[in-house]
């Protein structure tokens, strides 16, 4: 059993009837209508001229609204009007990427290059799930042996739905293809798998287009990104707007982040330093994004490469986790997954070095390292002078010691000149040091990190990560 809810447009109210329902004006001898629309409320009131008359209004499974009146002479119900008259005008009757034709059954068919998204729904006469692209989704998942070439397909003899988004029409398909990056001239940055360029959709909506390089690595990253971030949405995850798979070309289109990546604001001298409030909100946002990936998706998604370069900031400095090229999907029936080492030196959990199966706790470790950099405004690879002498100490170890000494305030970026919430700074230091513990069982989950940073759960004092201390070659005791 299932339910479908549909809408259709009545058109504007002209004082007597709605533009798309002229029958209302023609039946004024049966009923009178009043339409109320103001700042407080919006409703339509129908009053019968003859109060002894019996009517009923039905919204049937097709999405049509029908008004019936009881006829004493024929002892039957008579249809006064039904809207919409064309079944294809029912909102979302067919879903995305479909063509509706009222003269055939079923009314809905997939556009060229698309396949039925949920065949089981269509079997139940529910076609609102629409269609999905035959490529590249099926192409990259090896689910289909028949592949459709990516190109612009003309669709003749159709009209767009009433709520369609207006786009500027190109003179030709080739002009449209050349719709977005100005031939890859505005480079935003470059990573290990390719470059990112600024582009525009409809000449006004900014996007970031990642062009993947390398036949093997580029293909692996393309598959990882589409299969992970391509199926989910969260305010703290960058949104994948679209993608292209044609021949050896692999393009990923993301929402554009106007304030670049977190590393630019933390480590570059010519940038105004982020204030403490912004830093703490960024720390919370990244934690929420990771918690969503680990705990709320259909499959647990392990990002595997959390670092400041992969945390983007929008125009309100809301953080969004990006670059899922190394992500690993972990089914809910499994607690660990064995995979090759992936990530960035300086943010890698000990499990990667040991070569054992990993859990989402590798992201927790990386988050802890990033959180220390958010606090200090410096790379963790930068050493800090020990208070007991001239020996340089690896910053995460130095941070753990200062925390135990009750001096978390000294770890905060000096560029803030003391404009810091010291309680939040100490709490953030505690969280960071718990996240980078040697044993993954000692680290909190990202869901717990969110609760701690929001002040809903208390946390004790962490120990110094001994493995980090040994790797740093330090001989000092706290």
Please give the model's pTM, rounded to 2 decimal places. Answer: 0.62
Look at strands 328-330 and 319-321 and give their pairing.
unpaired
Question: Does the fold of domain 262-471 match that of domain 181-255?
Answer: no
Q: Residue 93 forms beta bridges with which residues?
A: none
- Could you read off the pLDDT of 109-120 as tens digits, one per residue? 887 777 887 777
What is the distance between the alpha carbons of residues 299 and 358, in angstroms, rounded to a whole number? 15
Residue 20 burial (10 A CB sphere; 0-12, 13-18, 19+): middle
Lowest mean pLDDT among 81-90, 134-143, 168-177, 230-239: 134-143
- Could you read off the pLDDT of 393-420 as tens digits, one per residue? 788 989 999 999 999 999 999 999 999 9
Lowest mean pLDDT among 56-65, 230-239, 327-336, 370-379: 56-65
All residues at 6 or more sequence positions from 409 whose CB lies less than 8 Å from its CB, including other chains: 420, 422, 425, 426
Give me the DSSP letters along 276-305: HHHHHHHHHHHHHHHHHHHHTSSSEEE---
Q: What CATH architecture applies to the domain 181-255?
A: 2-Layer Sandwich (3.30)
Choose the CATH number for 262-471 among 3.50.50.60, 1.10.510.10, 3.40.50.2020, 3.40.309.10. Answer: 1.10.510.10
Q: Which position has the token pair 């998942």? A: 141
Domain boundaries, the chain: 23-89, 181-255, 262-471
Which residues participate in catalysis according to the annotation? Answer: 305
């Amino acid at each position: 059993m299932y339910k479908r809810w549909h809408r259709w447009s009545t058109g504007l109210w002209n004082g007597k009837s709605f533009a798309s329902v002229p029958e209302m004006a023609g039946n004024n001898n049966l009923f009178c209508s009043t339409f109320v629309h103001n700042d407080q409320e919006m409703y339509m009131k129908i009053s019968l001229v003859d109060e002894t008359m019996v009517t009923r209004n039905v919204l049937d499974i097709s999405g049509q609204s029908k008004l019936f009146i009881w006829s004493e002479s024929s002892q039957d119900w008579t249809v006064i009007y039904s809207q919409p008259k064309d079944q294809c005008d029912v909102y979302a009757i067919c879903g995305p990427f479909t063509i509706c034709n009222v003269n055939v059954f079923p009314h809905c068919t997939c556009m060229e290059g698309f396949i039925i998204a949920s065949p089981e729904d269509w079997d139940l006469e529910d076609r609102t799930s629409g269609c999905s692209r035959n490529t590249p989704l099926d192409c990259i998942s090896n689910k289909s042996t028949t592949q459709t070439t990516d190109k612009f397909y003309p669709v003749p003899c159709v009209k767009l739905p009433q709520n369609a988004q207006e786009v500027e029409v190109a003179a030709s398909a080739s002009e449209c293809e050349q719709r977005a990056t100005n031939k890859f001239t505005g480079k935003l940055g470059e990573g290990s798998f390719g470059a990112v360029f600024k582009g525009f959709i409809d000449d006004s909506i900014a996007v970031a287009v990642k062009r993947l390089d390398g036949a093997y690595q580029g293909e692996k990253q393309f598959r990882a990104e589409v299969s992970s971030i391509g199926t989910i949405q969260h305010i703290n995850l960058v949104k994948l707007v679209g993608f292209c798979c044609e021949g050896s070309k692999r393009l990923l289109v993301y929402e554009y982040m106007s304030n670049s990546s977190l590393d630019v604001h933390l480590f570059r001298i010519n940038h105004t330093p982020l204030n403490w409030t912004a830093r703490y909100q960024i720390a919370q946002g990244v934690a929420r994004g990771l918690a969503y990936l680990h705990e709320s998706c259909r499959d647990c998604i392990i990002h595997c490469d959390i670092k400041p370069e992969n945390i983007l900031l929008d125009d309100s400095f809301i953080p969004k986790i990006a670059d899922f090229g190394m992500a690993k999907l972990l089914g809910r029936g499994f607690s660990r997954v064995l995979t090759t080492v992936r990530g960035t030196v300086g943010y890698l959990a000990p499990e990667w070095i040991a070569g054992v199966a990993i859990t989402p706790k590798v992201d927790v470790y990386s988050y802890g390292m990033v959180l220390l950099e958010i606090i200090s405004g410096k790379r963790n690879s930068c050493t800090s002078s020990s208070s007991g002498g001239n020996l340089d100490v690896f910053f995460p170890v130095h941070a753990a010691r200062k925390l135990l000494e009750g001096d978390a305030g000294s770890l905060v970026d000096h560029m803030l000149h003391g404009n810091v919430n010291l309680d939040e700074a100490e709490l953030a230091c505690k969280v960071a040091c718990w996240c980078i513990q040697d044993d993954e069982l000692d680290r909190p989950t990202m869901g717990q990190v969110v609760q701690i940073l929001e002040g809903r759960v208390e946390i004790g004092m962490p120990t110094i990560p001994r493995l980090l201390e040994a790797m740093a070659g330090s001989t000092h005791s706290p």
